[in-house]
Structure 1
Amino acid sequence: MITVGILGGGQLARMMVLAGAPLGLRFVVFDPAADACAGQVAPLQVGGFDDTEALAAFAAKVDVVTFDFENVPAASAHWLAERKPVFPNPAALAVAQDRLSEKTLFQELGIALPAFADIRSHEELAAKVAEFGMPCILKTRRLGYDGKGQFRIRTDADIAAAWQALGAQVEKTGLILEGFVAFDREVSVVAVRGRDGEFRAWPLTTNWHVDGVLSASLAPAVLSAEQQATAIAYAQRVAERLDYVGVFALELFCRGEALLANEMAPRVHNSGHWTSDGAETSQFENHLRAVLGLPLGDTRVLGHACMLNWLGQMPDSKPVLAESAGHWHDYGKQARDGRKVGHANLRDDSALALAAALQRVGEALGRQAQVAPVVETLRGSVTPN
């Protein structure tokens, strides 16, 4: 029996474990936190990501290693790769950890993206803001996620404020300035590449965020066939250049017919959670298939699927479970403001039926604002007779 080691013990690791059980897999999860939620469903080894003694003990228990958390030190990933197969490879992980390296890669691959610049001083920041125009966004090159580690610059006064907020990080994580995109919608490609180079992608997903955190995802996205093909081709270029193995997400801004790359996530992704109940093969199962060198599963969507993120604390499950295709996912976490504690998936063959189900759920849970844009998109996607 194969044992898969997962670096990071959050909800993504938890869902990988649950998806891997029918494949007959065993798991060991490694995380610094003794209460990591994946530890509720698999053996948990507690240790620092830079603790080589703990990593050695972890490596001795597993046959292959993967991640649920992209901010594992690249040096630790390289150290493990000298002892066990590690997927995705540490080089791919290192690129995705650094926004400047990531955007430089996109540029080299001919992928359209907003203007960006490495920022080393307050003077450079002021000069690049003048060049890009306002608004624009100053971000840390490393470690930022879910809206953290960034400052939006809207006025001249914001330049000094942004440097005051993030300038101290220039030597620790580096800083990058990104031009602002007035986009129509945000979409993502969730894709998978196997050890043998086989590549598959799920239908594009439309995403809605609140305060930088994903609120809802809808698949398939309402886009032209050309946009779908372009986005998937972008993802395949990235995967092949990095010799990537496993699932990853490429986030894009949609502006008219143009698609502009935002960032990639080298792991199973929040915007792919709908695949657990709305696709032929989930992102979690396909990630494990890829990592183990197994044939990849079909990525087609089964009708229309929506994921609703639950932050802070879990709401009442009954309105979701009352729906014929409502599915509940509780991560087993303690409630905390802003924390991802679970999600719900709803699916239907009919866009209008899914819109009606979402509206019922939104009204029952007081989440009308969360479901409203999804409902509007679903209803707008139906061509009148």
Structure 2
Amino acid sequence: MTQQHTVWVLGNGQLGAMLSHAGQPLAIDVRPVDIMSPTGKTLPIEASHVITAEREQWPESSTSLQLSEHAHFINGPVFGRLADRFTQKSLLDELKVATSPWQLVDDNVTEAELHQAYGERVLLKRRTGGYDGKGQHWLKQADNIEIPASWRNEAIAEQAINFDEEVSLVGVRTQDGRCLFYPLTLNLHQDGILMASIAPLSRLSHLQAEAEAMLSTIMNGLDYVGVMAMECFRVGEHLLVNELAPRVHNSGHWTQAGCHISQFELHLRALCDLPIHQPQVNFQCVMVNLIGIDKDDRWLSLPNAELFWYNKEVRPGRKVGHLNLSVHNVDALNDTIAQLKQWMPEQYQAPLDWINAEFK
């Protein structure tokens, strides 16, 4: 008899919605839960159900406790460990996975000591809560910028890395310990927010083995199950880990169009212990994040585009959707980019030019 699978998701944002969508063809009942506005009602969670999360942190409530304290909350201890940059960086050092030099900003460290250790520009990152460029503070020696008093013991200091470009690797670890990966993804950030991704790229293939070894070490070290994303800096011919995300990730959205198993389906298969094999790439894909702009139905006229609209209130800097553009034909992609340049606002001109440059 076929087992019926139910997966509850801590959080009901766009990642939870896309997990739910991915579960439907497999008859997996995915139930995202709004933990920001708990009802106080007890959820009908059964012993056999599985719990996951679409975010690393959440407010404590009766609802979140019922989910996070369930016996089948997969990767439960991992979320808090990776949500705190201090413990995340400590893990990378412990596992001997390359990352930028760093230290805790405690009560005693001075700006001069940080500049002596890491150079004229030092990046402070709050230990928790920062995303999309938030929670960061630059110490610039030339400007005599100081450590904010409230950031002591609540932030780490990192050496500024003069990286060549940003890439990410999305992989999965099964319940029996196998690790499988998508190709490396090239990413462009603007003001700390991911604007566009391209995958796969043959020019990055020589870095694939190093990236897979790094993420395998991390997932095995955590006894992790499911999809994890590793964001990296490429410095010359090697990688440095910037951040880890113990969940499906924005830079893996291209897999919805470009692969026969998306990152969302792959995550659910791992959680439910369903068969998993190496994801096949059907074609190259470009993902364009839709940030703080209104929905434009003209996007639907693009023959190589798939629109994912999150139905969220549009606010500046907020991710409200994404476009996946298939690259069956470079000329067709260039036509699409030219059309988007006409339709999209100023902040999109540089990212669209960046995409064009990669396909010249």
TM-score when normalising by structure 1: 0.85
The match for 1:41 is none
Matched, 1:242 2:242: no
The match for 1:370 is 351
From 313, 322, 335, the counterpart of 1:343: 322
> Are the counterparts in 2 of residues 203 and 300 from structure 1 also a CA contact under 8 Å?
no
> Are the counterparts in 2 of residues 304 and 350 from structure 1 also a CA contact under 8 Å?
no
CA separation of 1:61/1:307 partners in 2, compared to 1, >3 Å: closer, same or farther? farther
> Are the counterparts in 2 of residues 280 and 298 from structure 1 also a CA contact under 8 Å?
no
CA distance in 2, matches of 1:64, 1:7: 11
TM-superposed deviation, 1:239:
0.7
CA separation of 1:146/1:325 partners in 2, compared to 1, >3 Å: closer, same or farther? same
Tell me which amino acid in the other structure corresponds to 2:13.
Answer: G
The match for 1:176 is 156
> Are the counterparts in 1 of residues 35 and 59 from structure 2 also a CA contact under 8 Å?
no
Matched, 1:328 2:307: yes
Instruction: Provide Cα deviations, 1:153-179, integer angstroms capped at 9, x if missing partner.
Output: 22354531xx23xx31435xx210000
CA distance in 1, matches of 2:226, 2:290: 26
Instruction: Provide Cα deviations, 1:98-154, integer angstroms capped at 9, x if missing partner.
Output: 112212222222222211001113644431222110212011111111111111222
CA distance in 1, matches of 2:161, 2:202: 20
Tell me which amino acid in the other structure corresponds to 2:159.
Answer: G
CA distance in 1, matches of 2:68, 2:191: 36
The match for 1:83 is 70
Unaligned runs of 5+ in 2: none
CA distance in 1, matches of 2:144, 2:301: 48
> Are the counterparts in 2 of residues 352 and 378 from structure 1 also a CA contact under 8 Å?
no
> Are the counterparts in 1 of residues 8 and 32 from structure 2 also a CA contact under 8 Å?
yes
CA distance in 1, matches of 2:194, 2:69: 36
Identity %: 36
CA distance in 2, matches of 1:10, 1:255: 34
Matched, 1:11 2:36: no
The match for 1:276 is 256
The match for 1:110 is 96
CA separation of 1:14/1:271 partners in 2, compared to 1, >3 Å: closer, same or farther? same
TM-superposed deviation, 1:72:
2.7
CA distance in 2, matches of 1:125, 1:80: 42
The match for 2:233 is 253
CA distance in 1, matches of 2:350, 2:65: 44
CA RMSD of aligned residues (A): 2.4
Instruction: Provide Cα deviations, 1:276-310, integer angstroms capped at 9, x if missing partner.
Output: 11112100111111110111254232221011111
CA separation of 1:353/1:17 partners in 2, compared to 1, >3 Å: closer, same or farther? same
CA separation of 1:339/1:61 partners in 2, compared to 1, >3 Å: closer, same or farther? farther
TM-superposed deviation, 1:62:
7.5
- Structure 2 SS opposite 1:189: strand
CA distance in 1, matches of 2:165, 2:176: 34
- Structure 1 SS opposite 2:145: helix
- Structure 2 SS opposite 1:229: helix
Aligned length: 354
